[in-house]
A and B are shown apart, each in its own frame.
Chain A
């Protein structure tokens, strides 16, 4: 601590307020000790400009540091703030602990340093060397000095404060840069070279670090797993959750292989650890490089877009985001990427970016870009360019991740070229007309080599799809037609059923659960889409403006033996 001063010289010493703010001022920049109640303010007496004085000559004028603590409720504060010039310590209230300390340190005179109406420090003086009291002139000189010193002191304090803030900002920025480097290690540093396929990716966090991620893993069976994910929120909290999710996926992916199992497993682990109100959307997709067969499952992530021979369509699969609900189960959806087709996985940073007019980038623009895409890398480029152009002066709102998977268009001809239209007709949107569709589809495919089981399945699927088109697409309005096309394809047959209801967000209902239905927890209805999915070999949905089409595909295996089962009585 400070030794009693030997103020045998007229030492002019600034006693400065270490904290800049006045006692009643809010928004102080220092933490902890700063609150209003009971906080003691530290006053420090220092040499001018607070320089250490190692080389101070051993002359009479010696200055010392005096640290005075003046509590916010010390009566002397009011005194000093009201003072107009130099104040004799002897006139200050004795009840003040600070005054007692001044006296103990032989301070005789104090001059408040006031800048912008705020006391920022004190000049404290010991006894005059001549052992006479301070004269009138002395005091005037001190007043003048105080008037000049106060703004300078205030400025010094502000500079110092800013420097401290800048240092701490710099430290945080430095740490964030390190975090960014670490996070970049989680993302694939280069994409694998896949024979017959081109992978492209783009990742741009909204801040230094982000909550988006993507990954590409080669599986033990030779297939490739592609993962995209998005943690709620952005910045550091999201990045931390992203890191652990990424690690869990890395572990579960090659071990479990099945996208649904991977998501279910990671969900279980995340549910234990994730902070409340945070969750992760994630899409896991496994592609067979030979056949183009794709199986994927979705935990609340944006639906992938496929640019096929006839434009863009979304590949649908739904499920709970990771980390929200233990024991969530995920459905696996099968698809195929044909030669020349491009698949886009993306995060909502793309679709939810706003422009200067407050519009969102949206699915429409995204779908158009996909439909126009020639190649995967071209699609990434056009998305980035278009998003940048669209955003105008708006900041990037959320992390953006894009991954494209393009199958080289080589050997096989495209699907359209090999399709033959067998039948095309319309029915009015009246309940019951599905039976007409069922009968006409059955006639049209009679010669296509479907076995009896497959025939029954396409009949049921066609009827159900028509019912959906009538009820959910055209809302039972008889003047709206349901169009039906029956096509012979290279694989078998396809039935396309179209309505004018546009994109149906709710088309994929929750999987019906009989036990829940019997317990009255789910409506007894809701079997239509479920039946269709289970009847056909492939189910596709696409929407072009208001026209919504469901395509039902049945494969015909020329070598298939007649699978007449001999049924016993009891199942």
Chain B
């Protein structure tokens, strides 16, 4: 199994949505970096990570998200997350990622908040 991604640029809300699929682990490293590059190319103010199709995030995946967050913050972009299971929400809390990434139940809520 591999991970995959899809970038949706939503210009009217100035957000870009990265839809992640499968596992966020070491195999996802190039995909996630590539996805962020593609998303950043649309100059969004907010990058939304959609985890609704992700079934596994491990510590290496957390590290990838931390790196992505670091890049986004350096470039002045907000990062939102959507579609996390309760378990991974808990992990976002434990790691304090949720202090820096707004967590929403789904992409619509995440994008909606970015417009307002």
Seen from chain A, the residues whose Cβ lies within 8 Å of a Cβ on chain B are 431-432, 434-435, 438, 453, 456-457, 460, 463-464, 467, 512, 514, 517-518, 520, 523-528, 530-531, 534, 565, 567-571
> B70 and A517: CB pair below 8 A?
yes
Contact of B105 among A463, A517, A567 (CB under 8 A): A567
In the bound assembly, the distance between CA atoms of A285 and B64 in angstroms comes to 37
> B66 and A531: CB pair below 8 A?
no
> B102 and A570: CB pair below 8 A?
yes
B28-59 interface with A by 8 A CB criterion: 56, 58-59
Q: What 0/1 pattern do residues 51 to 80 of B give for CB contact below 8 A with A? A: 000001011101110110110010000000
Q: Which residue of A lies closest to B105 (CB)?
A: A569
Contact of A568 among B85, B96, B105 (CB under 8 A): B105
Q: Which residue of A lies closest to B62 (CB)?
A: A527
The residues of B that contact A512 with a CB separation of less than 8 Å are: 95
The residues of A that contact B13 with a CB separation of less than 8 Å are: none
> A467 and B86: CB pair below 8 A?
no
Interface size counted on chain B using CB atoms at 8 A: 38
> A525 and B60: CB pair below 8 A?
yes
- Taking the closest CB of chain A, its distance from the CB of B109, in whole angstroms, is 5
In the bound assembly, the distance between CA atoms of A463 and B62 in angstroms comes to 14
In the bound assembly, the distance between CA atoms of A210 and B62 in angstroms comes to 48
Given A467-B59, A527-B63: A460 in contact with B104 (beta carbons within 8 A): no
Further 15 A-B residue pairs, CB within 8 A, beyond A531-B91, A567-B86? A453-B90, A456-B86, A460-B91, A463-B56, A512-B95, A514-B66, A514-B100, A524-B66, A525-B60, A530-B94, A531-B95, A534-B94, A567-B89, A569-B109, A570-B113
The residues of B that contact A434 with a CB separation of less than 8 Å are: 58
> A460 and B70: CB pair below 8 A?
no
- Taking the closest CB of chain A, its distance from the CB of B54, in whole angstroms, is 13
- Taking the closest CB of chain A, its distance from the CB of B66, in whole angstroms, is 4
> B87 and A531: CB pair below 8 A?
no
Q: List 7 A-B contacts (CB under 8 A).
A: A435-B23, A463-B58, A527-B62, A527-B95, A569-B104, A570-B103, A571-B104
Given A460-B91, A518-B69: A527 in contact with B104 (beta carbons within 8 A): no
Q: Which residue of A lies closest to B58 (CB)?
A: A463
Q: Quick check: is B12 within 8 A (CB to CB) of the other chain? A: no
Q: Quick check: is B114 within 8 A (CB to CB) of the other chain? A: no
The residues of B that contact A463 with a CB separation of less than 8 Å are: 56, 58
Contact of B66 among A467, A517, A569 (CB under 8 A): A517
- Residue of A457, A527, A568 with most partner-chain B CB within 10 A: A527
In the bound assembly, the distance between CA atoms of A435 and B25 in angstroms comes to 10
Given A524-B70, A527-B95, A531-B94: A460 in contact with B58 (beta carbons within 8 A): yes
The residues of A that contact B97 with a CB separation of less than 8 Å are: 514
- Taking the closest CB of chain A, its distance from the CB of B31, in whole angstroms, is 15
The residues of B that contact A432 with a CB separation of less than 8 Å are: 25-27
- Taking the closest CB of chain A, its distance from the CB of B94, in whole angstroms, is 5
The residues of B that contact A565 with a CB separation of less than 8 Å are: 86
> B113 and A531: CB pair below 8 A?
no
The residues of B that contact A571 with a CB separation of less than 8 Å are: 89, 92-93, 98, 102-104
The residues of A that contact B85 with a CB separation of less than 8 Å are: 456
- Taking the closest CB of chain A, its distance from the CB of B50, in whole angstroms, is 14
> A435 and B95: CB pair below 8 A?
no
> B86 and A453: CB pair below 8 A?
yes
In the bound assembly, the distance between CA atoms of A435 and B103 in angstroms comes to 26
Q: Which residue of B lies closest to A525 (CB)?
A: B63
In the bound assembly, the distance between CA atoms of A283 and B113 in angstroms comes to 49
Kindly list the 9 A-B residue pairs having the minimum CB-CB distance in the complex, ordered from nearest: A456-B87, A527-B59, A524-B66, A571-B103, A528-B59, A524-B63, A525-B63, A569-B109, A514-B96
The residues of B that contact A520 with a CB separation of less than 8 Å are: 70
The residues of A that contact B100 with a CB separation of less than 8 Å are: 514, 518
In the bound assembly, the distance between CA atoms of A467 and B58 in angstroms comes to 9
In the bound assembly, the distance between CA atoms of A457 and B98 in angstroms comes to 18
In the bound assembly, the distance between CA atoms of A524 and B69 in angstroms comes to 10
The residues of A that contact B109 with a CB separation of less than 8 Å are: 569-570
In the bound assembly, the distance between CA atoms of A524 and B103 in angstroms comes to 20
The residues of B that contact A464 with a CB separation of less than 8 Å are: 58-59
- Taking the closest CB of chain B, its distance from the CB of A465, in whole angstroms, is 11
